[in-house]
Structure 1
Amino acid sequence: MTDQSHTSHQAAPGATPDAAATPEIPAEAITVVATGLAAPRGFTWGPDGAIYVALAGDGLSPAPAAGESSAPARPEAPPSVVRIEEDGQVTPVVSGLPSTADAYGDVQGPVDVGFIGDQLYVLQDATGGIEAVGLDWPNGLYAVEPDGALRMASSETVYITVNPAANIYHLVQLGEPFAMVPEGDSFWVVDANQGLLLKVLPDGTQSVIADLSLGHPVPTAIALAPGGGVYVGSLGPGPHTDGQQKVVKVTPDGEVSDYWTGLTMVTGLAVDTDGTLYALDMSTGNTDAPPNIYPNTGRVVRQTGPSTLEVVASGLNYPISMKIGPDGALYISLPAIAPQGELGSIVRIDPHASDTTVAVPDGFLTNASQPYASEGRS
């Protein structure tokens, strides 16, 4: 995730979660689905009912050697995608996509997954220039073959080189496809660096549906809108002042209109069966002075009007993606930022289980297991 007006991630002394919640909440309001995940990002449910999760990894993929077309293989690297069974068992699905880290320590690599029919696709979002990953691993859409091999389906790196956004505030050469949602035989994809909403087909065909780049909104969240088109939410540039971001609605022919304002660092969107829209704010209570953003201040909010909201859950640690599950609950991956290489989790929040804000309990994820910790990481 980028905006090169990047801000520090260290916690400020005394930073605390949103205190608007009551501790008296039902046990089923928030539960752990899986832990020990190496930088979990976007996820989805497969035809088999399991949850498939993209893992950005450990950020340790080395750059290719001079004259080489790709980085050397790393057998010890975390898997690129895992499957979570209903009993919580975590199984690697595919490995091999590069995992990189930027100058701020943000880890980027596999960022989202999605199915078209029975075919699984992975969205790759390494950071830096082509020299960071090599010619064999551009950012974009990869198909996962039955034997676990990866096949390039659509290169966004190539596409944006020829079709850049109208307003480039800083250029990530590889492009930054950040989130996607399938519809029919294609994917809607948002590029956070370029500020583009794309339609991407697995045959390599791509098109710009809307150029959202003016003002550098850093679009990082997307969900299908009832009646057609999509909702797109934005992270925004630093210092990420509270209440400055929004969700726009984009029609299939590219018409853009404001749909929900007054949000903060939106990293996830989800639509309930009744059409209610939920947003995931990665960090709140942000400050203009460093460290700017703070851990354990993320929240889930429910739209109550064009510029109003209700807090559903608070105290989340840099949440990065959110989906509505088959059971009607909200599933969330976190953290987006792990300064010490902390492993991540998927949590489940039932938005209908409590009449008050669900506050993440102290120590909720303290005992997370670490099955995919790699050598060299603590």
Structure 2
Amino acid sequence: MRRLKTSRMLVAGVAATAALVGLGVGPSGQAAEAASQKARPTRHLTSDAPVTVVARGLDSPRNLAWGPDGELLVTEMGATPTACQGTGFATRCYGQTGSVADVSSGTPVRIAKNLPSVFNQEETIGPNGITVGRNGHIYTLQAGSPEQVPAGLPADLTKTLTEQYGSIMDITDGQRKVIANPGTVNWNWTKNNPDLSDTYPASNPYALTTKPGGGFYLVDAGANTLNSVDRKGKTKVLAFVPETPGGSDAVPMCLDVGPDGGVYIGQITGHGNSATAANVYRYSPKTGKLKVWQSGFSAISGCGFGANGDFYVTQFDTTGFLPTGDPVGNVIQINHKDNSRTVLADEKLFAPTGFLAGADGSIYVADKTMMWPACTDAPACTSSTDIQATGDGQIVKIG
């Protein structure tokens, strides 16, 4: 997420690439876990669908995925790193406080710790995206790019950040294997296209999903791009998500592969946008064209297809971005038959992000992903206590 059109997430990156050995045709988007069942549910959720907390004790949770054995996985941004530079609102803190947790039991069990993270006065960010390949390997998408690693950090931290920031990493069974570097690719692409945004150069890889045929799709919230990554780790920019009518960057935050093979993308937008400024775009792999599919949303922070083909949009708040008050959000269900919309969990979610489809027709989102309001007193902006309460995050099931 961004502050203004003239600012961006200042996070850091990755250098190495490697072959995507063993990555076959992974599940096609969030609905894959449900689509694999013999009998797919046909019901639509109703506005009074129950909202149940299924896991607590998380440190700024973000995106979710079903693990290779059906476990519920979530990325965590973690606590504020301690290697800080700058003063006031310009303070940036770097470290390795990110993690991935298995929350199947209701209590987080960290299966990957010490992942790259950075605090940028709005939030702590780090392992943003997560997906699982058909080979059962768990992959995370790290924020930033190595080009944003500042000088003056401890040598061992600098080495880790330049290797891992902006990368896709295989974290299966405790490993840290960098297999692609979309952060660097997008940073260089933005340098070569300065006319598209006055925030460039920038890069913040954010959401990740497996690609039919092997590899990945991802969106970059800093570069405002959709990327594909092939089996050998080669990253390609497929499309640029355009600025909003108000002139701020699109800031794409989520994506999913639809039953039709199209790639659907949701945007949170930059600062100063209304409660109807966010769109869902559809990218056609056949034509290479990106078009608005649905419009009129507020600050989309998660999206994807449910088990029965309905599309879901997680709204970080309902008043636009930034919110005019507390970020009280909800989820919008779009009926796949007639495009009618149903509001779910209205006024029951606080700064929700992410989306995951359940096999039984239910859905899951991360809740209480950060506290609010953001720090606005520049001299006092030296920690994230105004916006993030470590351990307060939770996962909510709707339906």
TM-score, normalising length from structure 1?
0.76
1:302 maps to what in 2?
333
Q: How does 1:347-366 map to 2 (within 5 A)?
A: 347-350=396-399
Instruction: Work out whether residues 186 and 237 of structure 2, in 8 Å CA contact, stay in contact via their aligned partners in 1.
Output: no
Cα deviation for residue 190 of structure 1 reads 0.5
Deviations 1:28-77 (A, max 9, x none): x111111110111111001211011111111315269xxxxxx9986xx4
Could you tell me how far apart the structure 1 residues matched to 2:205 and 2:324 are? 23
Could you tell me how far apart the structure 1 residues matched to 2:6 and 2:274 are? 13
2:302 maps to what in 1?
268
Instruction: Work out whether residues 323 and 332 of structure 1, in 8 Å CA contact, stay in contact via their aligned partners in 2.
Output: yes
Cα deviation for residue 212 of structure 1 reads 1.5
Residues 73, 256 of structure 1: alpha-carbon distance in 2 compared, 3 angstrom cutoff? closer
Q: How does 1:109-124 map to 2 (within 5 A)?
A: 109-116=126-133, 117-124=135-142
> Are residues 1:80 and 2:106 paired?
no
Q: How does 1:14-163 map to 2 (within 5 A)?
A: 29-62=50-83, 77=97, 80-85=99-104, 87-102=105-120, 104-116=121-133, 117-126=135-144, 129-131=148-150, 134-146=161-173, 148-163=174-189
Could you tell me how far apart the structure 1 residues matched to 2:126 and 2:95 are? 15
- Given residue 260 of structure 1, which amino acid in structure 2 is its aligned partner? Q
Cα deviation for residue 5 of structure 1 reads 4.0
Counterpart of 1:323 in 2: which secondary structure?
Answer: strand
Q: 1:246 aligns with which of 279, 287, 293?
A: 279
Unaligned segments of structure 2, at least 5 residues: 8-46, 86-92, 372-385
Residues 159, 6 of structure 1: alpha-carbon distance in 2 compared, 3 angstrom cutoff? closer
Instruction: Work out whether residues 123 and 388 of structure 2, in 8 Å CA contact, stay in contact via their aligned partners in 1.
Output: no
Instruction: Work out whether residues 129 and 172 of structure 1, in 8 Å CA contact, stay in contact via their aligned partners in 2.
Output: no
Instruction: Work out whether residues 98 and 126 of structure 1, in 8 Å CA contact, stay in contact via their aligned partners in 2.
Output: no
Cα deviation for residue 169 of structure 1 reads 2.9
Deviations 1:81-130 (A, max 9, x none): 11122x3242111112122111x331111112111121111111159921
Could you tell me how far apart the structure 2 residues matched to 1:153 and 1:83 are? 23
Residues 3, 220 of structure 1: alpha-carbon distance in 2 compared, 3 angstrom cutoff? farther
Q: How does 1:209-248 map to 2 (within 5 A)?
A: 209-215=238-244, 216-248=249-281
Could you tell me how far apart the structure 2 residues matched to 1:266 and 1:4 are? 17
2:388 maps to what in 1?
341
2:224 maps to what in 1?
195
Counterpart of 2:187 in 1: which secondary structure?
Answer: helix
Counterpart of 1:95 in 2: which secondary structure?
Answer: strand
Residues 135, 124 of structure 1: alpha-carbon distance in 2 compared, 3 angstrom cutoff? same
Cα deviation for residue 276 of structure 1 reads 1.5
Residues 100, 259 of structure 1: alpha-carbon distance in 2 compared, 3 angstrom cutoff? same
For the aligned residues, what is the CA RMSD?
2.8
Could you tell me how far apart the structure 1 residues matched to 2:77 and 2:268 are? 18
Cα deviation for residue 234 of structure 1 reads 0.8
Identity of aligned residues (%): 22
2:317 maps to what in 1?
283
Counterpart of 1:232 in 2: which secondary structure?
Answer: strand
Q: 2:352 aligns with which of 298, 306, 319?
A: 319
Residues 120, 243 of structure 1: alpha-carbon distance in 2 compared, 3 angstrom cutoff? same
Unaligned segments of structure 1, at least 5 residues: 8-23, 65-70, 351-378
Instruction: Work out whether residues 5 and 198 of structure 2, in 8 Å CA contact, stay in contact via their aligned partners in 1.
Output: no
Residues 199, 61 of structure 1: alpha-carbon distance in 2 compared, 3 angstrom cutoff? farther
1:178 maps to what in 2?
206
Say which is worse superposed, 109-118 or 291-300, in terms of deviation.
291-300
TM-score, normalising length from structure 2?
0.72
- Given residue 80 of structure 1, which amino acid in structure 2 is its aligned partner? S
- Given residue 124 of structure 2, which amino acid in structure 1 is its aligned partner? V
Cα deviation for residue 239 of structure 1 reads 1.6
